[in-house]
Amino acid sequence: MIDFLHPGYLVLLVLVPLYLVVAVRQVRRRKLLAEKLFPGTGREGRKISRDFIGTFLFALTGTCLILALAGPVHCRKQKVFKRQGLAIAVSVDVSKSMLAEDVPAPSRNRIDQARHLVLELLERLDGESIGVAVFAAAGLELVPLTRDYGYCRYLVENLDEMAASAPGSRLAAGLESGKNLLEAGRRPDNRSTGIVILLSDGEDLGSDPGRALELASRLHGEGNLVYTVGIGGEKPVLIPIRTPDGREIIDYYRDRENDFLTTSRQDRFLKEIAAAGGGEYLVPRSTSNTAAMLSRQILNRAIATGRAQVIEQTFRSLSPWFLIAAFLAFGAAVAGREISA
């Protein structure tokens, strides 16, 4: 579809046929005069024919210039991916097992590694809305969906590990919190793509572990994606109890029988949750690489689903092409005049 930015200039096109009428009459008069003065010669006839062609080329030059002034644009509707259409809910496990210190430096423990991962992810956002929740036996929405990354960063950076850590561990609580964040920030046109990222060691002490799989499947059925990130190591480790300043270990957590508690990353359950949610399971080798991989996979999946796409009109100016056509027509007309001379 072609439209004009300045359609008022199009009224000048009425001058083109007027010019043609006047110019053609003059050429015909010259032709009649040439036939009277030089009867039986073809040279003047060929010259008159070139004059006719030159007249039409000048008319074409004027037409192209007027059309260029009118600002012709080619309008096209196309689907455009909008990162603003992505809503990301991050659920961080803050159960006691997340105080285990089987993570690479500079992270102090599992909670700290999850915190660094969220901060790295924030660095890679560009228009997406993000919310953060923490969970153990129950969930707590810490940051509602927002594009204020500075506010979100401040709250995540100042999350007190010792105060946040809580007894119990139920992955379904993390998914419920993520689901609540997405529903609270859902766009009115329902075109946003919801992403739930579960950061956990995968230990689930709830009475119904299958609830997490059910929630992940339901989220996926509603057009969302669930990603899980395994925090911690595969080998069982003790969970230290440190002094309030975090400098010294004074003991280790024990169970009711006074035996030391051990914890390890549960890959299988986290993989099952990600599979049910249509996402991926990732194990961080480094927080920056994992955040980059997460953001890349989220964008690719969102583009594939099409839920974060909107239809926009694009405009391409055609004025340069009409100016080129005018220049060529004018050049041909002048060249023809010189040959006629």
Residue 115: name the closest of 81, 141, 152, 167 by CA: 152
pLDDT, tens digit, for every residue of 238-267?
Answer: 999 998 888 899 999 998 899 999 999 999
The span from the CA of 211 to the CA of 213, in Å, is 5
User: What is the predicted pLDDT for the residue at 58?
Assistant: 86
Please count the structural domains in the chain: 2
Query: Are residue 284 and residue 321 in the same domain, yes or no?
Result: no
Query: Are residue 47 and residue 126 in the same domain, yes or no?
Result: no
Query: Residues with Cβ < 8 Å from 104, sequence gap 6 or more?
Result: 113, 286
Residue 84: name the closest of 307, 243, 259 by CA: 307
User: What is the predicted pLDDT for the residue at 145?
Assistant: 93
Query: Are residue 113 and residue 190 in the same domain, yes or no?
Result: yes
In this structure, what token pair is assigned to residue 337?
């005049």
Nearest-Å Rg of the Cα atoms of the chain is 36
CA diameter of the chain:
129
pTM: 0.68
Query: Are residue 195 and residue 332 in the same domain, yes or no?
Result: no
Query: Are residue 90 and residue 38 in the same domain, yes or no?
Result: no
Regions of the chain short of the pLDDT cut 50: none
Query: Are residue 73 and residue 91 in the same domain, yes or no?
Result: no
Query: Are residue 90 and residue 221 in the same domain, yes or no?
Result: yes
User: What is the predicted pLDDT for the residue at 214?
Assistant: 94
Rounded to 5°, the CA angle 106-108-114 comes to 85
Query: Are residue 272 and residue 328 in the same domain, yes or no?
Result: no
In this structure, what token pair is assigned to residue 125?
């956002």
Query: Are residue 59 and residue 95 in the same domain, yes or no?
Result: no
Query: Are residue 120 and residue 174 in the same domain, yes or no?
Result: yes
Query: Are residue 330 and residue 273 in the same domain, yes or no?
Result: no
Residue 333's identity, in one-letter code, is A
Query: Are residue 54 and residue 131 in the same domain, yes or no?
Result: no
Map tokens 């600002």 to a residue.
Answer: 71
Q: Which domain holds residue 73?
A: 2-77+314-340
* Distance, C-alpha 190 to centroid of its chain: 16
CATH at 201: 3.40.50.410
